[in-house]
Each structure stands twice: as structure tokens, then as C-alpha cells.
Amino acid sequence: MQQQEPETTTLEGGAAAVDQQAERVSFIRRLTRIREFTILMVIVVLIIVLAVLNSTFLSPNNIVSTILSIVMMAIVSVGMTVALVSGGFDLSVGSVMSMSGVVAGSLVLGGMNVWLAVIIGLAASCLSGLITGLFIGKVRINPFIMTLGMQGVIQGVAYVVTQGAPVSVTGVSAGFLYLGQGNLLGIPVLIWILAVIVVVADYLMRRAVVARKVYYIGSNESAAYLSGIRVARAKIWIYIFTAILAGIAGILTLSRFSVASPTAGLGMELQAIAACIIGGASLSGGEGTVFGALLGSVLVGVVDDALVLLNVSVYWQSLVLGCVLIAAVTMDVLTHREKNS
Amino acid sequence: MNSAFKKIGLVSLAAVSLTLTLAGCSTSNSSNNSTSGNGASGGSAAVAFKGSANETYYMVTFLSGIEYWKGVYAGMQAAAKDLGVKTVYTGASQYDINQEVTTMQQIIAKKPAGILVTSINAKAMTPVINQAIAAGIPVISFDSDAPDSNRYAYLGTSNFEAGQKAADYLGQALNGKGQVAVVTTPGELNLDQRTQGFTSEMKAKYPNVQVVATENGNSDQIKTAQVVSALLQRYPNLSGIFADEADEGTGSATAVKEDNKTGSVKIVSFDTDKSTLDAIQGGTITATIAQGTWNMGFWGLMDAFTIHHDMLHPVANWQTAHVDPVPPSVDTGVTVITKSNVNAYLQQ
Amino acid sequence: MERAPLLEARKIRKRFPGTLALDGVDLSVLPGEIHAVMGENGAGKSTLLNILTGSLSHDEGQILVKGQEVNFRTPVEARANGLAIVHQELSLFPAVSVMENVLVGRSIARMGLMDRKQMAPLVRSYLSKFDATFGPETIVKNLSVSQQQIVEIVKALVMEADVYIFDEPTSALSVEDAEKLFVVLRQLRQQGKGIIYVSHKFDEIFDLSDRVSVLRDGRLIGTSSVSEVAPEDVIKMMVGRSLDRIYPEKTDHTGKKLMEVTDLNAGVRCHNVSFDLYEGEILGVFGLVGAGRTEIMRALAGIDPKTGGQVVLNGKHLRIRSIQDAISHGIFYLTEDRKQQGLYLKLSIRDDIASVHLEALTKRGFFQTKSASTIATEVMQELRVKASSVNQLINSLSGGNQQKVMIGKWLLRKPRILILDEPTRGIDVGAKAEIHQLLRRLANEGIGVVFISSELPEIVGLSDRVLVIYDGGVAGTLTGGDINDETIMEYASGLHIQELVR
């Protein structure tokens, strides 16, 4: 498990022990200051409680299906994390997800080679991200308004392409369906894909110079600008990245269901933002990790699964889910309060 | 000889003028007959069931982009072709009450020959439907009714009976024994009615079939897949699922497939979009309940047309006598589609 | 021997709509020189610095780097030409590590990935010049303001520039950290670098610099070697008038005991603190950074929770459990961080002042704009706040005027005890003197005045008595002849431990 660097430094040759302000903190204390650790603990506690209440919970089948259920949300959250860290966010990801699926699906139905159709679907997502990024980065339109507008535009594109009907692609190449429906070593390929995306993105966000700039921009945009960072250009790439990941989620949804619905991604943007925030991202930018977003998604998935396994009535389900989310974030904020005295 | 010629000339002149006059009368008569005015015209048409090119009927829907209404509109267009009139498809693109009411008002201003409408919310749409009728526009309701309004007729599916039919099919397919679950979107009236029909029929006719759970699929494939996966864990012996909405059917099929239970869990879905039909052909969905959407559109337009052309006389003055001019409530019925008859629907 | 200047500005002219900010200013920095620039706020120092470092463009004049004319269009270009600046305002990335902040825009990377193994020791080597107690991987938001200022300085040092420009670098630094900075500056000078040093602190300037230039109203009044000029002359050049005394006269008699604090306890930085305050006196509070002066006063004013202690005001025992309690008794604490905690930067002067006076300015739930404007105008006149109108936004005022607004608004509520934390930090000489006069006047009127300052001359010059804090406790209370630099520093360094009140 990758952790964020500890926020205080231990003994370094010769220099004084620890930061004056931080006083002498124990290892445990420092560990709990890492947001991801707290959420992980919440998840572990939940899992233990649920396993006791219902033994099916820990069965391999159930674990796999629970993770499978959050794959799309998690992939979109990876992109959303980058947008959030930069101090913005992207409300259009749900529509982009729907659009990429229906564009690729419609092209396949029209006889195009499926992989070419996939590339075009991703290219369309890219284009959406480029437009979004240009307006936010160069024209400096507020991300809320811009991505809300794009959400409408792209959703419209999805409707127009499909004339409102879901696109069914039975009979498409098995190689493509393998992505969404195949298994590798007993684990669905979708989960492998998610793992690769998360590991690579998390590593890059922590270490790649290009990615670190996102943190600088989100922390203090004017300082970033003054230190020579091309903020406008960076933002364009940020929103392209967010859109591509949403596009990937859309393509994978097409593969998993063999159906592309123009409303496949409806509401996905809010779920993704919630997962990222639970995982430690801040709406004001400069903070957040990909791993945290994954944990946030897993938390939501575990709770959703529990609600069904424990036979919670459908009318209570959204109430319960909402309470659990509030509790998770509150507990986390409280354990961090002393840091900001 | 002069007087004879004069006589023949006069008679010829009279004959010619009479012929011409008669010809003129009859052409003006037939032209009167072929162009019917707007609003209920007095006098019967010379040829029945013949409309005019600028007679326009509107269909007003909500979530206007979805595929479901296309079936209804196809029926309406077929009737329009036979009748020789124009139709326009419109509606609120979102699930938005205000949007649909506003659209209705805009249509009323265009003074159409008639309106076929499906109401997003009965209470909200009643005033504007009445407004149209007061303006002399016949309004026919379909699929989602506004029962307290003055609409002349409602054509739609009895959702309750549709649910019952699904239960009958599934109960028989399971030989009267087993565990089933329902996936629906609680709070949507149509779907709630289908669920109620299903569960009550199961209880009454197939007591050994247990409805073990009712889950919320949110009309979304991904969400449905998640709840069904969890259901399959919770109830390993689950042998049937009733999904009362199309996307929920697709989601259920995928979840069942991912759990390698295709075939051992029978799925009954709803409506006839291509993905569902393909799935039936491919065997991942067992059956679907098709609504009589084409008929809603066809007979809906017929009703509006006949009212508009004042062709109906059940009693002398039905307007003042408060007698329904057309059958006020028509159940357009459902059909169970399985592999055996799916090809007929696929060809459309 | 004539050395060629590293940086030279000739006849720089800069216009803004309505004003001539710089009117033909000359400035040069020689290699191996520390060149101080002084001037009141509004004299044009910031504008000049911004032009030199590429943030602003000049309308007329030339800038030469090592004899070559240059025209910087961005700060990046200035940096590329060997100019580094440390601004007065911090501009760091809070959620990111120290080393990433220091090396922003110049991070060491291998194949696009940050090379921590090389970055950390490099940054640590600079941090060690300040004996920093934090490491390169520390996240900046966990550092104190003083430590963050060090990070800003290191950010400039790491550029290994030819010319360094420091704008009020010690305003947030403790005395020892400032000393360490001076060591670094002297090293840089020895290495032949050129340093431009903007400050209000005479002792630093005269101790450190070789030459001093004075700006006033956008013009260069004069440049001279530090050895050839006295502080009074410099002040005259800066304000165009002579100030006989920098500090108002101290009082020689004090009245009855106003407040008595006994055994105040609030965590590590405040234990068993006891002191008295008399009518008519100004009590200065001094201590090294981290000694706990702010913590003690915040606990006294109900802002931070206290675990024990009594406060008696005018003979009456007070119960202070919250800020509201303290305010209701007339005890006001004015923060050292006026931008973040003391003022509403995006509001107008009128609205900011009105914010502490809302009950009086609300009629039936509605805000009385006219009355608020009247009150604000009175405050502005009383304290001589330089602004175009009460509608001017707080963030467009100079530091000194902002401070005056902050003090002024609290004066409206008729304080009995005013606790001011670093009231003249980052403020020009003229405004400083005005605030000192104001404090003296308030004390004379019977308000208890307590002020915390890190500037020894200010403590020595203004206080009637000095409370020295060391390590969360009172090291000593000094009066009369004991109020001098050395004695105060001795107590503040904990050298008179046996006399420590614990």
C-alpha cells in the first residue's frame, strides 16, 4: 500500500529531532494523519461488521462482484482526482462516458471494425476534454459553469447519435467483449484494468514532474504561474485526461453490457466527486490522491453491497448510504482538526 | 329560317350556360368537401376519413428522446398516412414537469387539429389539458394518464395487469416453485403498479414461488448489475428475476452472466428496445413484456381525428349531454415476447 | 576601483492611470554590495522591484544586467538572467513538501519522475544555513509563518543568482532566524553577489548594508554610503520632515491597577503566567519566536481554551470562557495576521469597520449604510487613514492603513484592554510613528495597552514596562533602566532561569 509521505520528518543526521510545531508525535499519530489510512480503517471496520452480520459477505464471489460494481466509478474518479487537485472539477464526465460508449457502439453497428470504433469513441472524449480545457484554461471560464454546459452538450450528442435508444452490439468481436466480460486468472479483466489504471496514475501523481504541477496549480495558482508553470496549458491537459478516463469507462461499459445506453453515465460525476472527497481530495484544490479516490469508491461499493445483503428496504437505502458517507468524512475531518490549529 | 336559327341559338346558349353553371356548382361543391376547415366543421364530409394536408396533430411527451415513444409515434404516423394528415412529434427532453407544461401551452397556441399527450404528472398536466379542450382542441391521453382532466380518452397499458402477465409467465416457466426477485425503480407510478401486479399474482396463483426481495435498480444498468450481483450472493438459489424496466433488464442479464448463471436464472424484462430483443434471441433474457404502443398511437389519432371532424354521434349532442364521444378508457394490452416470437418484433 | 554594476536601472519611469509611480529613478547594485532601499509605503519601492524582476514593464528608462540592456517580459526571464527576489508576501504551495516548493520550476527529474534522492539533500544543505528544525519533506502547511518565510528565502538562494532582492525579509522572522539570514547575506556579499535589501528596520540597514537609497513619491531622493549618513538624515529624506523622536514620550506615573492576571494556564506554551497592568501604562511583551506570547494573549482573550487561571479587572473577577466573554468585558485582542484573521480584504472600509458594530448599525434587521459610512469616515479621519473614500476596498490599502483600520474599528467598541499582536509589522516609518502616538494617547486615556512585538527597538522605545516571555512562562518584568536591548534579550533567552516565574 502506497502512503503519502509522512508529514513530519524523523531524525536526520545532525539536525534537531522534529518540527517544533509538530512536537514529538508517535508513529501512530502520524499515520492517522494520513487521510487514506483513516478511510481504509473505516472500510476494514465496515467489512468486519458486515462479515459478522452476514457470512456471505466475505465469500470470494461477493468480494469480486462488489469490486466489479465500482470499477466504472473508480475509473472516472481517477480522472476526477486530477481535476479536483488542480482546483477545479468536471461535471461532464457522466455525459462523456455515455457518449463514448454510444459513439463506439453506433460505429460498430454500422459495420466499422470495433477497435477503430473504440479509438474514435476515445478521440471524441478527447475532443470534449480539449474544448473544456481550452475554455477553462485559456478563456478562464469557471469550471462549474463550463463543465455543466458541456454536460448538456455532450449528453445531447449522445442522444442525437442514438436517437434515444440504447445501442445493442451483440455479435461484436470476442476480443472486445473480453475486456468487459472476460476473466484472467479467475478475476474479471475489468478489475485488472482498474488496478493498472490506479497503480500507474497514483504513481505518476506522486512522482512525475508533470503531475506535481497539478498540485502546485491547485495550491496557489498565481504562485505557480509566477514560477514559470504554463497554467493554461496544464489545465487543457488536465481536462483531456479527465475526459479520456470517462471515455474509457464508457467503452468498458459497452463491452461489459454489450449495450451502450445514452444515459449510462447519468449521475456518475457526483458519485466520482463524492468518492474523491471521501478519499481526501479537497474542493479548494491542492490535495488528494488517486489511491484515496479508489478507497472512496470501495467504501461506497461496500456500503451498497451491504444494503442488499442485509435486506435493507429500498426506501431506507439512500438514507443509510448518505449517513455512512457523512460519518466517514466527519470522523476523518475530526481526526485532522488539531493539525490546523 | 332566321327565326329558326335564332331559336336554336338561344336554346344552345341556354343549354351551354346551364351546363357551365352546373359544372361550376359541382366543382365548388367538391372543393368545399375536400377542404375541411379548422375546428369542428358543420356538415358532413363527402368522403369519410379523409383529412387535409395542413391538418396537423401533435404528440406531446416527456423524456422525449427515449425510444419507447417511437413505437407510439409509429402507430400515429401510420394512421396519419391513411388519413392524409400531418403529425408532429414533440415534448420535454428532460423529466421536467415545467418543461412539458410549457410545451403544451406552446402547442395550444399553434391551434392544432388535435393533441395526443402522455403526462409526466397527472395533477400538473390537468389544467393545461383542460385549457386545450376549452380552446376546441381534442386531447387524447396515452400511456401516462391525467384521469381528472377532460381528455376524451385514455389509451394505455394496465400496468397492474402487465405485472400479472409477467408473474404468470415466470410462474409457469418455473413450474410453480422457486425463489424470485423484483428489480424496479420505487416511486415511479407505472413501475410500482407493475411490481404490485407481479407480486399479488404470484401470491395468488403460484404460492410456492417466493418473492424474496425487491431492489432498486434506479433505471440504470450499472446500478442494477450491482444490486443483482449482490442478490445472487444473498440468494444462491434464486431462479427468476422480474425487471419492470428495460435498462434494468439489461443490467440483470449482465449480472447473471457474470455469475455464470445464464439459463438457471430466468429473467423477464419489459418493453421492446433492440438490446432487449437481441438479448432474448441470444438467450440471456428469457422474455419481455411488450406494450401495445403502436396501437396507442394509431387509435389515439383515430379518436382525435373523428372528434375533430365531428363524425361522432352516439347521441344528438354529446357535448351538452356529457356523453363520451369515444371509448374513454382503452387497454391496449400486452404481449409476452419470447424466443419463439421475437423475430417478428426484430423485423420492425 | 570602479566595479561594474551587476544590475543597473537608469531613469526608470512608470505611469499608472492617474499617477506617476516612478519618476526617473536610478539604482545600481555593485558586485559584493548590499544596497538598501528605503522609503515610505507608496514611495514606489514595490513598483521598482516589480519592474526589475519582470512582473511589470517600465514606460521609459533602461535596465542593464552586467552592462547589457535587457527587457524582461516575465519573471521567468528575470530569473533566467540571474535575478532572484524574495517577496514580502508568502507564495507557497501549502499541501506540498518544502523541497517541491523550493525547487518549483526547476525540479530535478529522471525520465520525468521527481528525483527525491537528489532534491532532498540539495534543499537540506540550504536549510541547514538556517539551522532549520524541519526537513525538506515536511509539508509546508505544517510550518509556522517564520519557517515558511525561511522556505521562501531558500527558494531564492537555490537559484544561485547574481543579484538577490529581499523585500522586508525579516518581517516574519524571529530574531535568531534574522541573524542567520544576515550571515547568509554576508556570505553572498563575500561571494561577489549583489543584494538589494528593502526594509524599514534602521538597525538592520545600518548594520548590514553598504549603500542606502531613499525613494519618496516615486523619485530617488538620494543614494549614499551608509557610513556617511545617519538614521535621522535618512528619515528626513524619506518623509521630507524631521522627526525629533521616533517614539512618543513615556509616561512617568501610572495610576491604579487595571488588570491582574494570575496563573494563566493553557497548554505547553502558557503555564502559570501572571502579570499586572496599570492604568496609563503601555506594557510591551517580548519573547523569541515560539516563546508563547501569542498563545498567552489568545488564552487571556478567550480565543483559545485555558485550563486554569484568573483574571481580575478593576477589582472584579472575570469569567472568560469564549471570545464573546472577553469582548463583553472590553478585552480585545488584535491579531498579528491582519490579512488572514483581522480584516475582510474583499470588503470596503465601511463594511469592514461596520462588522464589529453591527448591532448599532442594524435597524429592524436592515443594515444602515449611511450611518456606517459616517462612522467609517470618522475613524478614517481620527486615525488619518489614507484612502480615497470609505468605499475603497481593504485589500487596496497599504499595510499601515490596513492596520489603522483594524485598530480603528475595535476602538469603536470602547475597549478597556487592548492587546495588539505585532501592530506595526510591515508598516512604513511614518505610519508606525502614528500608531505609536495613537497607543500612547489611548494609554493616557485610561485604556490598558498591551502590545507584543519582535522589534527590540520598538519594545525599548515605547514600553513603560516590559514583560519578557520565555518558553511559555514569564521570564521577568522589566522597568526603568532594565529596559534595554541586552537585558531584555538575556531574559528572553532564558538566562535568568532562577528568576523565572513557573
In a domain, C349, yes or no: yes
- C314 and C402 co-located in one domain: no
- The structural domains of chain A, ordered by start, are 59-332 (1.10.3470)
E strand or H helix at B197 = helix B189-205
Q: Which of A48-52, A150-154, B3-7 has the highest mean pLDDT?
A: A150-154
Q: Name A333's Cβ contacts closer than 8 Å, sequence gap at least 6.
A: none
Mean pLDDT by 10 residues, chain B (348 residues): 57 57 43 41 64 92 86 95 94 87 94 94 93 95 92 93 95 95 90 95 95 93 94 94 94 94 95 91 94 94 94 88 91 92 84
Which of A107, A79, A67, A112 has the alpha carbon at shortest distance from A301? A67
Cell numbers 433492440 correspond to B274
In a domain, B123, yes or no: yes
Q: How far is B185 from chain A (nearest CA, A)?
A: 9
- C213 and C359 co-located in one domain: no
Q: Name C487's Cβ contacts closer than 8 Å, sequence gap at least 6.
A: C478
In the three-class reduction of DSSP (H, G, I as helix; E, B as strand; rest coil), residue B269 is classed as strand
For residue C354, what is its C-alpha cell? 461596520
Residue A82 in this model has a pLDDT that exceeds 90: yes
In a domain, C442, yes or no: no
User: What torsion do the CA atoms of A316, A319, A321, A326 make, to the nearest 10 degrees?
Assistant: -160
pLDDT in tens, A117-148: 999 999 999 999 999 999 999 999 999 999 99
How far is C66 from C55, CA to CA, in rounded Å? 20
Strands (E), C176-326: 194-198, 211-216, 219-225, 257-265, 273-278, 282-287, 308-313, 316-318
- B102 and B228 co-located in one domain: no
Q: Is C412 exposed, middle or buried (0-12, 13-18, 19+ CB in 10 A)?
A: middle
Q: Where are the alpha helices (DSSP H) in C13-115?
A: 45-52, 75-80, 98-102
- C311 and C268 co-located in one domain: yes
Which of C282, C309, C312 has the alpha carbon at shortest distance from C298? C309
CB contact under 8 A, A229 and C114: no
A189-248 residues touching C, CB cutoff 8 A: 207-210, 212, 215-216, 218-220, 222-224, 226-229
The CATH number for C262's domain is 3.40.50.300
In a domain, B328, yes or no: no
Q: How far is A190 from chain B (nearest CA, A)?
A: 12
- C326 and C408 co-located in one domain: no
- Judge whether B179 is closer than 8 Å to chain A, CB to CB: no
- B152 and B165 co-located in one domain: no
How far is C218 from A38, CA to CA, in rounded Å? 56
- CA dist list (Å): A82 to A95, A212, A218, A245, A249: 18, 10, 10, 11, 16
- C63 and C80 co-located in one domain: yes
Q: Which of A20, A212, A228 is facing C114, going by the closest CB pair?
A: A212
Which of B133, B150, B151 has the alpha carbon at shortest distance from B142? B151
Q: Name A6's Cβ contacts closer than 8 Å, sequence gap at least 6.
A: A30, A34, C137
In a domain, B51, yes or no: no
For residue C293, what is its C-alpha cell? 506570547
For residue B89, what is its C-alpha cell? 412529434
Q: Are A264 and A155 in contact (CB under 8 A)?
A: no
Q: What is the DSSP string of B59-101?
A: EEEESTTSSHHHHHHHHHHHHHHHHT-EEEEEEESSS-HHHHH
- B284 and B304 co-located in one domain: no
CB contact under 8 A, A286 and C95: yes
Strand partners, B182: B214, B242
CB contact under 8 A, C95 and A215: yes
- C33 and C175 co-located in one domain: yes
In a domain, C247, yes or no: no
- CA dist list (Å): C40 to A87, C197, C237: 37, 14, 10
Q: Are C48 and C22 in contact (CB under 8 A)?
A: yes
Q: How far is C311 from chain A (nearest CA, A)?
A: 24
Which of C424, C413, C410, C417 has the alpha carbon at shortest distance from C275? C417
pLDDT in tens, B305-344: 999 999 998 988 888 888 899 999 999 989 999 999 999 8
Phi, psi of C27 (to 5 degrees): -155, 140
ipTM: 0.77
- B151 and B163 co-located in one domain: no
Contacts of A167 in chain B (CB under 8 A): 274-275
CB contact under 8 A, A219 and C96: yes
Q: Which of C91, C139, C147 is facing A220, going by the closest CB pair?
A: C91
CB contact under 8 A, B65 and A264: no
- Judge whether A7 is closer than 8 Å to chain C, CB to CB: yes
Contacts of A62 in chain B (CB under 8 A): 230, 233
- B283 and B307 co-located in one domain: no
Chain B neighbours (≥3 Cβ pairs under 8 A) are A
Sheet of strand B86-92: strand arrangement:
B86-92, B56-62, B114-117, B139-142, B153-156, B329-331
- B76 and B152 co-located in one domain: yes
Q: How far is B288 from chain A (nearest CA, A)?
A: 16
Q: To probe the interface with B, which of A170, A189, A312 has the most B CB atoms within 10 Å?
A: A170
- B342 and B299 co-located in one domain: no
CB contact under 8 A, A56 and B234: yes
CB contact under 8 A, B216 and A258: no
Q: Are C287 and C470 in contact (CB under 8 A)?
A: yes
By C-alpha distance, the chain A residue nearest C75 is: A226
Q: Name A319's Cβ contacts closer than 8 Å, sequence gap at least 6.
A: none
C131-150 residues touching A, CB cutoff 8 A: 131-139, 141-144, 147
- B92 and B241 co-located in one domain: no
pLDDT at C483: 86
- Judge whether A300 is closer than 8 Å to chain B, CB to CB: no
In a domain, C46, yes or no: yes
How far is A118 from C51, CA to CA, in rounded Å? 52
pLDDT at B20: 53
Please compute, for residue C448, the number of CA atoms within 13 A of its CA located in the half-sphere on the CB side.
Answer: 22
- B144 and B202 co-located in one domain: no
pLDDT at C105: 77
CB contact under 8 A, C100 and A212: yes
How far is B139 from B59, CA to CA, in rounded Å? 10
In a domain, C67, yes or no: yes
The parent domain of residue C398 ranges over 341-414
pLDDT at B348: 67
- B139 and B173 co-located in one domain: no
Q: Which of A166, A170, A314 is facing B282, going by the closest CB pair?
A: A170
- C216 and C309 co-located in one domain: no
Contacts of A339 in chain C (CB under 8 A): 142
In a domain, B318, yes or no: no
- C187 and C280 co-located in one domain: no
Q: How far is A307 from chain B (nearest CA, A)?
A: 9
- B211 and B265 co-located in one domain: yes
CB contact under 8 A, A166 and B273: yes
Q: Are C351 and C437 in contact (CB under 8 A)?
A: no
Q: What is the DSSP string of C115-153?
A: -HHHHHHHHHHHHGGGT-SS-TTSBGGGS-HHHHHHHHH
- Judge whether B271 is closer than 8 Å to chain A, CB to CB: no
Q: Which amino acid is at A97?
A: M
Contacts of C138 in chain A (CB under 8 A): 7-9, 19
pLDDT at A235: 96
* Overall pTM > 0.90: no
Q: How far is C104 from chain A (nearest CA, A)?
A: 7
In a domain, B134, yes or no: yes
CB contact under 8 A, B216 and A68: no
Q: To probe the interface with A, which of B62, B222, B226 has the most A CB atoms within 10 Å?
A: B222
CB contact under 8 A, B274 and A261: no
- C38 and C142 co-located in one domain: yes
Q: Is C483 exposed, middle or buried (0-12, 13-18, 19+ CB in 10 A)?
A: buried
pLDDT at C428: 75
* Residue contacts between A and B (CB atoms, under 8 Å): 112
Q: To probe the interface with B, which of A261, A271, A310, A317 has the most B CB atoms within 10 Å?
A: A261
In a domain, B331, yes or no: no
Q: To probe the interface with A, which of B191, B257, B275, B293 has the most A CB atoms within 10 Å?
A: B275
DSSP 8-state class, residue C497? G
pLDDT in tens, C427-456: 777 788 888 988 998 898 888 999 999 777
CB contact under 8 A, A224 and C124: no
A12-41 residues touching B, CB cutoff 8 A: none
The count of structural domains within chain B is: 2
Q: Which amino acid is at C134?
A: F
For residue A323, what is its C-alpha cell? 449517513
- B251 and B299 co-located in one domain: no
Q: Which of B186, B229, B275 is facing A168, going by the closest CB pair?
A: B275
In a domain, C316, yes or no: yes
Which residues in chain C come in under a pLDDT of 70? Answer: 1-2, 18, 41-42, 239-246, 253, 289-290, 340, 494-502
- Judge whether A59 is closer than 8 Å to chain C, CB to CB: no
How far is B282 from B343, CA to CA, in rounded Å? 12
HEC string of chain A equals CCCCCCCCCCCCCCCCCCCCCCCCCCHHHHHHCCHHHHHHHHHHHHHHHHHHHCHHHHCHHHHHHHHHHCHHHHHHHHHHHHHHHCCCCCCCHHHHHHHHHHHHHHHHHCCCCHHHHHHHHHHHHHHHHHHHHHHHHCCCCCHHHHHHHHHHHHHHHHHHHHCCCCEECCCCCHHHHHHHHCEECCEEHHHHHHHHHHHHHHHHHHHEHHHHHHHHHHHCHHHHHHCCCCHHHHHHHHHHHHHHHHHHHHHHHHHHHCEECCCCCCCHHHHHHHHHHHCCCCCCCCCCCHHHHHHHHHHHHHHHHHHHHCCCCHHHHHHHHHHHHHHHHHHHHHHHHHHHC
Q: How far is C18 from chain A (nearest CA, A)?
A: 27
The count of structural domains within chain C is: 3
pLDDT in tens, C65-76: 988 899 888 888
- C114 and C179 co-located in one domain: yes
- C348 and C454 co-located in one domain: no
For residue C410, what is its C-alpha cell? 475595535
The CATH number for B130's domain is 3.40.50.2300
In a domain, C405, yes or no: yes
Which of C57, C65, C49 has the alpha carbon at shortest distance from C165? C49
pLDDT in tens, A161-195: 987 778 888 778 889 999 998 999 989 999 999 99
Cell numbers 488572514 correspond to C340
A173-232 residues touching B, CB cutoff 8 A: 181, 188
In a domain, B163, yes or no: yes
How far is A147 from A137, CA to CA, in rounded Å? 12
In a domain, C433, yes or no: no
- C282 and C353 co-located in one domain: no
The parent domain of residue B71 ranges over 56-157+293-311
